[in-house]
């Protein structure tokens, strides 16, 4: 397992300079969390944009704080490597800022690392500003090229985007899509970020004992047995009563990653056991046709009796989802991480399994005769034909003469798993009447 580097444009600036708003404007979607309080963004948040067959990776960094808290300090210690690896750096400055001490620190950081030749200075919040009114003290932050914009009002952002595509864009080489995306989801402090870092074999996500440390969805490439996956580390998903406005938004973003993921690692703190919130995340994955893999983390902290109790309770709790893969690990010590490659290989084989239409119809026609569905509202449905119309996830369409009872839906799904080898993956099944 290791990371593949991307072509990146980094956004660096003071807190509340408008970097996250600018990212959301350039991508025309909400990738970064924005809020009125400083340091809403706590980690590098990356997204790929594509224009005219070119793509660039935009990365939003936390605001550079003069007196950082523990969260921000842990990330700022890694700033040097991030800007060195970047293809281009956008130094985003609130044009009305008077915090020249803070701006000087960023300026010195850029100069110390000799990256001035790839810096574009972006003066933000210029909706009521004329270029000739620029404070003379700002001139030293300009490295050959500056752009005046308003990220919120979308003024000058088209010019900035054209500049980025022209000087930073590369020909499309592949898509970050659901075909190889894995979301790491779970409650706060379940060990998601520790697992993410273990996959990358480096400290990429900030880890602490404080619940809610991760707010942003972070994506990196990881290789399992020569196959590249896009792994997303997401914010913890607590109960609604525990969320403030920003945490609630971060939690919603975590759930939305399931729409674009093929697989989810549902991480559970084994010392706490599985509860309602964990089951909800499993349900959310399945409803989004994303195959969940239950990851029982911190397994090394349990004694033998606790392990037996959890294994016993799993049979009851997962009765409805008995087909789920379960992996028992310690992300901190990396014990059990070797299980992921084998499990992902098995899951991928099933996700890409395609069944011949004639075989499907022959099997289900015989089943329909042997064990027909009960009449629905006085009418017994007949099977016209069935087909598999897609893979990843395996997708089936049953064309019927009329509706069938709900319990027959489960019966059909179970038979697909038993007969055709879809033992551990989410299935997408449509019924047409």
- Residue 348 is predicted with a pLDDT of 94
- Residue 236 is predicted with a pLDDT of 63
Please state the rounded mean pLDDT for residues 192-203.
85
Of the listed ranges 160-169, 234-243, 292-301, the one predicted with least confidence: 234-243
Range 89-115 burial, b when 16+ CB lie within 10 A, else e = bbbbbbbebeeeebbeebbebbeeeeb
Residue 424: which residues within 8 A CB-CB, separation 6 or more?
291, 323, 324, 325, 346, 347, 350
Residues 402 and 254 in one domain: no
Greater pLDDT, 242 or 334? 334
The residue out of 138, 171, 204 marking a domain boundary is 171
Establish if 3 belongs to a structural domain: no
The residue out of 349, 372, 387 marking a domain boundary is 349
Q: What is the largest CA-CA distance in the chain?
A: 85
The structure tokens listed for 150 are: 């308003």
Residues 333 and 406 in one domain: no
Q: Which residues pair with 150 in a beta bridge?
A: 155
Establish if 322 belongs to a structural domain: yes
Instruction: Flag whether pLDDT at 88 surpasses 70.
Output: yes
Residues 227 and 284 in one domain: yes
DSSP 122: E
Establish if 339 belongs to a structural domain: yes
In tens, the pLDDT along 349-372 reads 999 999 999 999 999 999 999 999
Residues 366 and 345 in one domain: no
Is 265 exposed, middle or buried (CB count within 10 Å of its CB: 0-12, 13-18, 19+)?
A: buried
Establish if 2 belongs to a structural domain: no
- Residue 114 is predicted with a pLDDT of 85
Q: How far is CA 81 from CA 110, 204, 398, in A?
A: 11, 12, 53
Q: What's the sign of the alpha-carbon dihedral 407, 408, 413, 418?
A: positive
Range of 76's domain? 8-171
Instruction: Residue 268: give its domain's CATH number.
Output: 3.40.50.300
Q: What is the DSSP string of 279-316?
A: HHHHHHHHHTT-EEEEEEE-GGGS-HHHHHHHHHHHHH
Establish if 249 belongs to a structural domain: yes
Q: Which residues pair with 170 in a beta bridge?
A: 55
The rounded distance, in Å, linking the Cα atoms of 22 and 97 is 17
Residues 133 and 263 in one domain: no
Residues 286 and 304 in one domain: yes
Residues 90 and 192 in one domain: no
Residue 199: which residues within 8 A CB-CB, separation 6 or more?
1, 222, 231, 337, 340
Establish if 233 belongs to a structural domain: yes
What is the number of other CB atoms lying within 10 angstroms of the CB of residue 224?
18
Instruction: Flag whether pLDDT at 92 surpasses 80.
Output: yes
Instruction: Flag whether pLDDT at 208 surpasses 70.
Output: no
Please state the rounded mean pLDDT for residues 131-148.
88
Residues 164 and 75 in one domain: yes
The rounded distance, in Å, linking the Cα atoms of 395 and 385 is 14
DSSP 140: G
Could you tell me how far CA 188 lies from the centroid of its own chain? 15
The structure tokens listed for 362 are: 């022959």
Q: What is the DSSP string of 153-217?
A: TTBSHHHHHHHHHHHH-EE------GGGEEEEEESTTSSHHHHHHHHHTS--S---SSTT---S-
Supply the mean pLDDT for the chain: 83
Instruction: Residue 390: give its domain's CATH number.
Output: 3.30.300.20
Establish if 221 belongs to a structural domain: yes
- Cα within 13 Å of Cα(23), Cβ side: 28
Please state the rounded mean pLDDT for residues 307-311.
92
Residues 210 and 90 in one domain: no
Residues 159 and 235 in one domain: no
The rounded distance, in Å, linking the Cα atoms of 124 and 107 is 17
Residues comprising the chain, all counted: 433
Helix ranges (H only) for 288-401 are: 304-317, 339-351, 357-370
Greater pLDDT, 6 or 85? 85
Going by C-alpha positions, the residue among 132, 270, 263 that lies closest to residue 190 is 270
Establish if 368 belongs to a structural domain: yes
Q: Strand, coil or helix: what is 252?
A: helix
Instruction: Flag whether pLDDT at 2 surpasses 60.
Output: no
Instruction: Flag whether pLDDT at 343 surpasses 50.
Output: yes
The total domain count for the chain is: 3
Q: Strand, coil or helix: what is 121?
A: strand
- Residue 351 is predicted with a pLDDT of 95
Could you tell me how far CA 317 lies from the centroid of its own chain? 26
What is the number of other CB atoms lying within 10 angstroms of the CB of residue 133?
8
The rounded distance, in Å, linking the Cα atoms of 280 and 254 is 13
The rounded distance, in Å, linking the Cα atoms of 235 and 252 is 9
Rg (CA), the chain: 25
The residue out of 349, 379, 397 marking a domain boundary is 349
The structure tokens listed for 27 are: 């991508």
Please state the rounded mean pLDDT for residues 150-156.
91
- Residue 264 is predicted with a pLDDT of 94
Residues 382 and 336 in one domain: no
Residues 29 and 167 in one domain: yes
Please state the rounded mean pLDDT for residues 330-350.
94
Percent of the chain residues topping a pLDDT of 90:
47
């Amino acid at each position: 397992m290791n990371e593949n580097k991307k072509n990146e444009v980094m956004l660096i600036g003071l807190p509340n300079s408008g970097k996250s708003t600018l990212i959301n404007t350039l991508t025309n979607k909400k990738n970064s969390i924005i809020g009125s309080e400083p340091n809403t963004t706590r980690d590098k948040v990356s997204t790929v944009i594509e224009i005219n067959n070119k793509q660039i990776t935009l990365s939003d960094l936390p605001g550079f704080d003069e007196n950082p808290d523990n969260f921000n300090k842990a990330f700022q210690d890694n700033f040097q490597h991030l800007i060195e690896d970047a293809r281009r750096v956008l130094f985003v400055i609130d044009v009305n800022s008077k915090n020249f001490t803070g701006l000087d620190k960023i300026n010195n950081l850029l100069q110390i690392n000799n990256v001035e030749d790839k810096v574009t200075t972006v003066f933000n919040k210029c909706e009521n500003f004329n270029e000739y009114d620029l404070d003379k003290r700002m001139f030293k932050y300009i490295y050959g090229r500056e752009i005046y914009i308003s990220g919120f009002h979308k003024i000058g952002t088209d010019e900035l985007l054209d500049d980025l595509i022209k000087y930073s864009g590369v020909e499309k080489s592949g898509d970050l899509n659901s075909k190889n995306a894995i979301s790491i989801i779970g409650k706060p402090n379940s060990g998601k970020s520790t697992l993410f870092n273990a996959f990358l074999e480096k400290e990429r996500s900030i880890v602490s004992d404080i619940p809610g440390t991760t707010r942003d969805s972070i994506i990196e490439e990881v290789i399992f047995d020569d196959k590249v996956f896009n792994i997303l580390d997401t914010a913890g998903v607590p109960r609604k009563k525990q969320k403030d406005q920003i945490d609630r938004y971060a939690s919603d973003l975590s759930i939305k990653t399931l729409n674009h993921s093929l697989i989810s690692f549902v991480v559970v703190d084994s010392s706490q056991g599985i509860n309602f919130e964990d089951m909800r995340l499993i349900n959310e994955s399945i409803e989004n046709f994303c195959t969940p893999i239950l990851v029982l983390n911190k397994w090394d902290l349990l004694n033998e009796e606790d392990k037996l109790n959890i294994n016993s309770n799993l049979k009851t709790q997962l009765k409805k989802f008995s087909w789920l893969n379960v992996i028992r690990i310690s992300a901190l010590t990396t014990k059990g991480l070797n299980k992921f490659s084998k499990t992902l290989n098995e899951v991928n084989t099933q996700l890409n399994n395609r069944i011949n239409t004639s075989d499907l119809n022959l099997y289900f026609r015989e089943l329909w005769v042997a064990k027909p569905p009960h009449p629905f509202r006085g009418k017994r449905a007949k099977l016209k034909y069935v087909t598999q119309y897609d893979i990843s996830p395996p997708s089936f369409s049953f064309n019927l003469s009329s509706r069938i009872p709900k319990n027959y839906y489960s019966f059909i799904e179970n038979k697909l798993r038993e007969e055709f080898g879809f033992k551990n993956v989410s299935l997408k099944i449509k019924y047409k009447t």
